Amino acid sequence: DGGITQSPKYLFRKEGQNVTLSCEQNLNHDAMYWYRQDPGQGLRLIYYSQIVNDFQKGDIAEGYSVSREKKESFPLTVTSAQKNPTAFYLCASGRLAGNTGELFFGEGSRLTVL
């Protein structure tokens, strides 16, 4: 089945550790996105990528890093520089043009810093 797969679903990390969240899509979408969601809040854009080997910062990129070595994959690293990393992280993908503009989301990864 086509879709977006995020892993792990739940992740615990100690303060000072980096952690990488995986996002893979088999929808042949050009664009991929990472959002962060805090309890009771909307989604905030962290990073996005339109093509392989290129990505741009969103509204809250500090303390995060990404890579886009393959069209299908857009991993997010939460670094120790992120002061408040406990949150729900959502990955999404979409076509760039010539369609509805719909985004497809994964099921999310919940990160807890102990």
Burial label for 70, CB within 10 Å (0-12, 13-18, 19+), is exposed
- Among 11, 58, 71, 79, indicate the residue that binds another protein (CB under 8 A): 58
Assess contact for 33 and 103: CB atoms under 8 A. yes
Would you count residue 64 as binding another protein (CB under 8 A)? no
- Choices 13-21, 66-74, 75-83, 105-113; region in contact with another protein by CB under 8 A: 105-113
Scanning 12-20, 70-78, 79-87, 103-111 for contacts with another protein by CB under 8 A, the matching segment is: 103-111
Contact between 35 and another protein (CB under 8 A)? Answer: yes
- Provide the token pair at 59: 């509204």
Token pair of 6, please? 């995020």
Tokens describing residue 77 = 């690293």
The least distance separating another protein from the CB of residue 38, rounded to whole angstroms, comes to: 11
